[in-house]
Amino acid sequence: MRAIGDLAAFMMSSRFQTSLRNGAESAAEAATTGLAKDKARHLGGATMAVSLLDRKAILLEQHRRGIAEAAVFAGSTQSILGRIQDQAGRLTDNLSLVSQLQSPAELKTISDSAAEVFIDTVNALNSQIAGKYVFSGTATQTKPLPDGADLLALVRTATLGATIAADVQAALDSWFDTPGGGFETTAYQGSDTGFMSLPLTKDDTATFGLRADGDTVKDLLKGLAKAAVAGDPALNLSIVEQSRLLGESRADILQADRTLTEERASLGLTESIIENARVMTEANQARIATDRLSLLGIDQFEAASEFEAAQQQLEVFYRIAARQSRTSLAEYLR
């Protein structure tokens, strides 16, 4: 009978200890957060309103993360296009000096610098942002173009046999612009329909409307390619034809640059939509947090007092338990 009584006392003691601990933890959490831990008890079982707010909060958090991702894409895309424009701008400054140059070596130097800009531009268009290719349309897992050096090699092959600037122009027009031509079949590998879109809210979407096969990009690449092949030894163009080709490439690059500026302005509108969605989402999150606090909010000072009381009860319980344990051990040894 005594063993059963000891077991019962132990179980009662354990339950009392657990109850004290749970009370202390609940009071500590309430004192820290200012919210009741036991929602059902605090609201008298009417938890539907809180459940709806929690679901809305989860949805808004998903929107917030999508908006943050879209902001990264928009900002990174602007940075890429800005870098491309900066390089093209420096090249056009150099190309403006072509009419004053008569040395084949000087013309070759400018042509080689154009080749470097072409390669860098292509590689920039192949940039990945958060594991996605921005300039591949909806095919975000596919690199839009070959590496810059490989693409330039394809362009050089397409112009072989040209003897004057007009021949190079015709070859590049055919390769870049003809449906089923070299650029379409051997260069661009992304989606030829649609653009990358990211949801922001249930009503708003951020669409990135520039692909590597668009006219803006192709015109820029064609202008850069024209300057890059001008000094190609395989073509062996005369100084006059090289100068003519380099001069035409400058005009093409400047025109493409103006169009690219318009594309960046359009991207700026997308950034504005993203920012508005961010502000609206954060405002809704704050409102939900306020509504939730009005339902579950408690007096933190009262909760702190409850925590102190629970702590004291636990300390008393442990002291009593320790004394009983020492007494039992002494009786056992005796």
Q: Which of 148, 140, 142 is nearest to 124 (CA)?
A: 148
Q: Which of 233, 260, 258 is nearest to 111 (CA)?
A: 233
3-state secondary structure at position 137: coil
| Low-confidence winner among 56-60, 101-105, 141-145 (lowest mean pLDDT) | 101-105
207 bridge partner residues:
197
Q: pLDDT by residue (tens digit) across 309-318? A: 666 666 666 6
- Find the farthest-apart pair of alpha carbons in the chain and give their distance in angstroms, rounded: 117
Token pair recorded at residue 247 = 């001069």
How many DSSP H helices and E strands does the chain contain? 10, 4
CA gap 229, 169 in Å, rounded: 11
Number of other residues whose CB lies within 10 A of the CB of residue 151: 24
Over residues 22-36, mean pLDDT: 57
Q: What is the pTM of this model?
A: 0.76
Higher pLDDT, 17 or 54: 54
For residue 333, pLDDT beyond 50: no
In DSSP notation, 218-247 reads: HHHHHHHHHHHHHT-TTT---HHHHHHHHH
Cβ(229)–Cβ(155) under 8 Å?
yes
For residue 54, pLDDT beyond 90: no
The pLDDT assigned to 332 comes to: 45
Confidence of residue 329 (pLDDT cuts 50, 70, 90): very low
Residue bearing tokens 């909760």: 303
Q: pLDDT by residue (tens digit) across 227-238? A: 999 999 999 999
| Low-confidence winner among 18-32, 104-118, 126-140, 272-286 (lowest mean pLDDT) | 18-32
197 bridge partner residues:
207
Residue bearing tokens 């669409």: 207
CA dihedral 46, 52, 53, 55 (to 10 degrees): 140
The pLDDT assigned to 81 comes to: 96
Over residues 193-197, mean pLDDT: 88
For residue 169, pLDDT beyond 90: yes
Higher pLDDT, 23 or 52: 52
The pLDDT assigned to 296 comes to: 59
Q: Where are the alpha helices (DSSP H) in 143-238?
A: 148-159, 165-177, 182, 215-230
